Amino acid sequence: MAPHDKIVPITKKTIPNNVLHVLQNCDCVCFDVDSTMLTCEGIDEMARYAGKHEEVKALTKKAMGGNMSFRECLTERLEILQPTAQLIQEMIEMKPPGITPGFQELVDALRSRGTEIYLVSGGFDCLIVPEAAKCGIAPNHVIANTILFDKEGKYAGFDKNNFTSENGGKARALQYLKDSFKFNKMIMIGDGMTDAEARPPADIFIGFGGNVKRDAVKEVSDYYTSSFFSILEALQLK
């Protein structure tokens, strides 16, 4: 059975009370993007497209084993990739990443209840904004990193003021949203530990294993699921 199939029947017994309560009463849901909203990792796709997948993979391995900060890792990966404006444009046109099944349906259902949707990512807005647009999510609801280009379209670094360009960035991004828009109940949904770190300020963290399963993330989740359809069912439970 495919991982995105509707498999687990959701009842009030299979989802914790507090999760159900927050889900049905939240005014803001923040989704991670890479391996959550989208089926792949943007930087891996970029590396593959630039023909530098092996180099980036080796760096990722090194970063996971050492004490490299998120920013150092981001800096080094981009130094290897040297993405140009042209490469990004070609990527968007040639290799659109897949949107995870059920994401659109869940977003639509949340919105019809008046819930605000944000995408909070350590990836790149140039790749995320076009995919967000397909789901009706505006650029000002995307918090991610910005690659900078010079006049010729060559790589010129990244915007270091962005929340998610540093460790703990997702928590800071959610706190900013909470303070700015006075949200009462916020949910973070994602596949990684950096997503789990956004609670608090998120009231609950839903771990998502539909694309990549991580036991460490499952352990710290208020609720863990491999299908957006399960969250949709829970949202609609009477």
Active site (catalytic) residues: 32, 34
Would you report the helix, strand and coil content of the chain in percent, each value rounded to 5? 50, 15, 35
**Contacting residue, 35, 225, 227, 230, with Mg ion by CB under 5 A:** 35
- Are 80 and 191 within 8 A, CB to CB? no
Tally of CA atoms within 13 A in the half-sphere of 196 that contains its CB:
17
169 near Mg ion (CB under 5 A): no
| Closest CB to Mg ion among residues 115, 211 | 211
**Residue 33 CB, nearest approach to Mg ion (Å):** 7
**Residue 71 CB, nearest approach to Mg ion (Å):** 17
**Residue 184 CB, nearest approach to Mg ion (Å):** 26
Structure-derived torsion over alpha carbons of residues 150, 156, 158, 160, reported in degrees to the nearest 10: -100
CA distances from 54 to 42, 76, 81 (A): 15, 14, 11
190-219 residues in contact with Mg ion (CB under 5 A) are: 191-192
Q: Tell me how many residues contact Mg ion (CB under 5 A).
A: 5
32 near Mg ion (CB under 5 A): yes
125 near Mg ion (CB under 5 A): no
Stretch of 46-54, 135-143, 165-173, 185-193 lying at the interface with Mg ion (CB under 5 A): 185-193
34 near Mg ion (CB under 5 A): yes
How far is 117 from 36, CA to CA, in rounded Å?
Answer: 14
| Closest CB to Mg ion among residues 191, 203 | 191
Cβ partners under 8 Å of residue 70, min gap 6: 122, 165, 166, 167, 169, 194
- Residues in touch with Mg ion (CB under 5 A): 32, 34-35, 191-192
